[in-house]
Amino acid sequence: MTDRAKGGSLPKTTTTQAGVDWNGADLNREKFTNTLFTDLDMMEARAIGTVFTDCLFRNGRFNASVHQSAAFVNCTFLACKFFDTQFIDCKFVGSRFEGCSFEVLKVKGGDWSFVGLAGADLRSASFTGTRLREADLTGSRCQGAVLRDADLSGASFDKADLTGCDLRGSDLSAIDPAQVALKEAIITVDQAITLAQALGLDVRADE
């Protein structure tokens, strides 16, 4: 699943839905598998328990939509917009994003393990209490973003910019401070020790 998140092949779709208008719709426990969605309009929609598996989204608009306990498993999003979108306790395991915009995205809880967000502009995005194990955040722009109480173990952060990012409570064991911009990032004392040790410093208590 890790290779898939870092730029593997697109899902093999068997059904195409073009120009679907779900603007303002309520979607409850719908299920879609191996479906290509082109020009999907999901703005201001509310989705509870909806499940998408191995789906491909091209030019989708998710602006101001709210998703709760939904799942997007092994899906690919190409040039989709997520302005002011909320994902609450949602599952995105193995999914990846390319050329997408995430202004004011809000993610609370959920499992985003193995997600591909390489190069993503997450400067105004917020992830709180989210599992992002082995996520690909290579080259991501997270200046001023929020990544609080997140499980970032095994994640890839090479050349990511975390300037001013709020990282409090998150697992920073996968971050190499020599490869990541961390100026003015907000961290706790314990996290500072973790990063110092990653730099090879011998951290000791005062004697």
Q: Mind listing the pLDDT tens digit for each residue in 23-46?
A: 999 999 999 999 999 999 999 999
Q: What is the structure's pLDDT at 5?
A: 44
Q: What is the mean pLDDT of residues 91-111?
A: 98
Q: What is the mean pLDDT of residues 14-18?
A: 96
Could you tell me if 194 and 181 are in contact, meaning their C-beta atoms sit under 8 angstroms apart? Answer: no
Those residues whose C-beta lies under 8 Å from the C-beta of residue 204, and which sit 6 or more positions away, are none
Q: What is the structure's pLDDT at 188?
A: 96
Q: What is the mean pLDDT of residues 61-65?
A: 98
Q: Which residue has the tokens 């998408």?
A: 52
- pLDDT averaged over every residue in the chain: 94
- 8 pLDDT band, cuts 50/70/90, is low
Q: What is the structure's pLDDT at 4?
A: 41
Instruction: Indicate the residue type of 21.
Output: D
Give the model confidence (pLDDT) of 147-205 as tens digits.
Answer: 999 999 999 999 999 999 999 999 999 999 999 999 999 999 999 999 999 888 887 87
CA atoms within 13 A on the CB side of 182: 18
Query: Phi and psi of 190, rounded to 5°?
Result: -60, -40
60, 98, 4, 70: CA torsion to nearest 10? -40
Which has more pLDDT, 73 or 205?
73
β-strand 86-88 against 66-68: which pairing, if any?
parallel
Which has more pLDDT, 10 or 171?
171
Question: Does pLDDT of 207 surpass 70?
Answer: no
Q: What is the mean pLDDT of residues 54-78?
A: 98
Q: What is the structure's pLDDT at 202?
A: 82
Q: What is the structure's pLDDT at 39?
A: 98
Edge-to-edge strand list for the sheet holding 35-38: 15-18, 35-38, 56-58, 76-78, 96-98
Q: What is the structure's pLDDT at 203?
A: 79
Question: Does pLDDT of 86 surpass 50?
Answer: yes
Q: Report d(CA 139, CA 44) in Å as an integer.
A: 30
Q: pTM of this prediction?
A: 0.92
Q: Which residue has the tokens 């002011």?
A: 84
Q: Report d(CA 60, CA 37) in Å as an integer.
A: 8
